[in-house]
Structure 1
């Protein structure tokens, strides 16, 4: 007998690719399970202005959360970096599985095949992410950064049309939609600190019901523990998409190491720390990193974004 579950997702090319991946993993883990993908048009996808004025990252998740709470879908798939880190998940919803993490780094695509250090003075680089903007200004203060939103396909189209000279996007996203050949340079984490949750696909469910048990079969413990450390960092800061914060955790056996940083809006000041400890204390490591950065004066760098 076949059991069917409904998997909610944004309707972009990348989101649908992620949903199909999750569907395959679940169907492989459970004989007789069929996953039906339910595309959802979210406010964040329809909005063309600043993500901050659209309600932050919750603009990409709130409609899907409402369907999950109402029982209209059984599961939902998200990029972890798109789930707000400054507020708790809606009542009755939890992250049931963290899939194995893909490459968390950002990638540069330039029209002329130039690396970041080869771009001409005053070259225009497109990105709306404040974390990327601040780090671009830190690495190349002579560049002009232009806000550019939309799905990856539309951003590549604007690059190809000559609207910008280069764009910065998630490396793993390009791989997921078959556009990895467009990558000019994968930016090392030392140059462009990754976003919290970058590269990690998660599945949310209601906290009670059979779907939760089904999804646990695809949970990756290493991805879960590193993600918990990173998310705790954001939560301690009260930081949202309107903050220039990077956090990237890695795991070696039972030790989690978290690299965290906060950037001034103009890129002229950076506060960074590295903490490490047992994986059982992953959330505590995130809070420790945040406290160390706050003690160094991170609040002064965060406040301009949080107004």
Structure 2
């Protein structure tokens, strides 16, 4: 790659998104010392809107403006949290994934100013979250707690907690680490207690399909195990055709011997119905594993459960 090469990186303009881009810039510079990068920030409709995401058409509200910059040629690379990228439809035509960075912590974190763990919270404690996935699982495991809607980026939610709008928060461990707020974590919740969203803890790099130079420049930032895990997870979500109001959770795990496992869970919004599937694949194609786990959930009634939820 030429030393003068410039890579323009499109991103949401929240503090976390900018921190994520900084990580990519550092890794890219370490790999290609001659490369120059320029950040092209955009405030998305999802960032501006404080109501329910379903009213904006779901998770695509966080990505479509970034996609537009890429497709218009005003940026060469987009950095996304995989969990924010819809999997029920393909990536915008003309774009492709160039790399999935090594996965960070996939757990959810409890933030409680008094230092209590989830099991220690008294009845009626207000938990700030707008995630249907978190609400459903808390309704199952801790029905005595009360979820109160809370949107906004992680910094904004922490401000709302400090202002007394909730008694505790649930946020992603990886997100708090990225914005330098790991010290706010009271408890990292086990995956058995709070199954993560599809793509948790993974940053993805998206390019135009025809931009072979940029694809080649960033491809080595990718992690092979993370690629396998995310491919299986996103195929699971794609086959289930979940929407932003359907509480779906799951995670893949690549093991040293090459085995890959995938856990998938679908909940009713009130947490009263829980469907669960967990399968392993050896050298099996990750997408086939994702399909297989989705079919196991569909056999348990996932289609009827998802379709019954308004969106």
Bin the TM-score by the shorter chain.
over 0.9
**Distance in 2 (alpha carbons) for counterparts of 1:279 and 1:114:** 43
Q: Is the 8 A contact 1:255 1:279 kept in 2?
A: yes
Say whether residues 1:32 and 2:38 are aligned partners.
no
Query: Which residue in 2 is equivalent to 1:245?
Result: 248
**Distance in 1 (alpha carbons) for counterparts of 2:162 and 2:53:** 23
* C-alpha distance 280-92 of structure 1, shift in aligned 2 (>3 A): farther
Say whether residues 1:269 and 2:273 are aligned partners.
yes
Query: Which residue in 2 is equivalent to 1:218?
Result: 221
**Distance in 2 (alpha carbons) for counterparts of 1:157 and 1:300:** 39
Q: 1:127 aligns with which of 126, 129, 135?
A: 129
Query: Which residue in 2 is equivalent to 1:228?
Result: 231
**Distance in 1 (alpha carbons) for counterparts of 2:282 and 2:229:** 11
Q: Structure 2 unaligned runs (5+)? A: none
Question: Could you tell which deviates more after superposition, 280-289 or 197-206?
Answer: 280-289
Q: Secondary structure at the match of 1:178?
A: coil
Q: Secondary structure at the match of 2:21?
A: helix
**Distance in 1 (alpha carbons) for counterparts of 2:126 and 2:305:** 25
Aligned 1:1-307 pairs, distance under 5 A: 1-209=3-211, 210-252=213-255, 253-305=257-309, 307=311
**Distance in 1 (alpha carbons) for counterparts of 2:87 and 2:245:** 11
Q: Is the 8 A contact 1:86 1:235 kept in 2?
A: yes
Q: Deviations over 1:51-86 (max 9, x none)?
A: 111221111100110110110000000100010011
Q: Secondary structure at the match of 1:52?
A: helix
Deviation at residue 304 of structure 1 after TM alignment:
2.9
Question: Could you tell which deviates more after superposition, 274-283 or 144-153?
Answer: 274-283
Q: Is the 8 A contact 1:265 1:301 kept in 2?
A: no
Q: Secondary structure at the match of 2:262?
A: strand
Q: Is the 8 A contact 1:226 1:282 kept in 2?
A: yes
**Distance in 1 (alpha carbons) for counterparts of 2:200 and 2:11:** 18
Moved over 2 A (4+): 304-307
Q: Secondary structure at the match of 1:299?
A: helix
Deviation at residue 306 of structure 1 after TM alignment:
5.1
Q: Deviations over 1:188-241 (max 9, x none)?
A: 000000100000000000011211111112111111010000000000011132
Q: Is the 8 A contact 1:104 1:170 kept in 2?
A: yes
TM-score normalised by the chain length of structure 1: 0.98
Deviation at residue 300 of structure 1 after TM alignment:
2.7
**Distance in 2 (alpha carbons) for counterparts of 1:305 and 1:285:** 26
**Distance in 2 (alpha carbons) for counterparts of 1:53 and 1:148:** 15
Deviation at residue 38 of structure 1 after TM alignment:
1.2
Q: Is the 8 A contact 1:257 1:275 kept in 2?
A: yes
Deviation at residue 114 of structure 1 after TM alignment:
1.0
Q: Secondary structure at the match of 2:90?
A: coil
Deviation at residue 158 of structure 1 after TM alignment:
1.2
**Distance in 1 (alpha carbons) for counterparts of 2:144 and 2:254:** 36
Q: Secondary structure at the match of 2:79?
A: strand
**Distance in 2 (alpha carbons) for counterparts of 1:157 and 1:226:** 34
**Distance in 1 (alpha carbons) for counterparts of 2:177 and 2:229:** 22
Deviation at residue 280 of structure 1 after TM alignment:
4.6
RMSD between aligned residues:
1.1
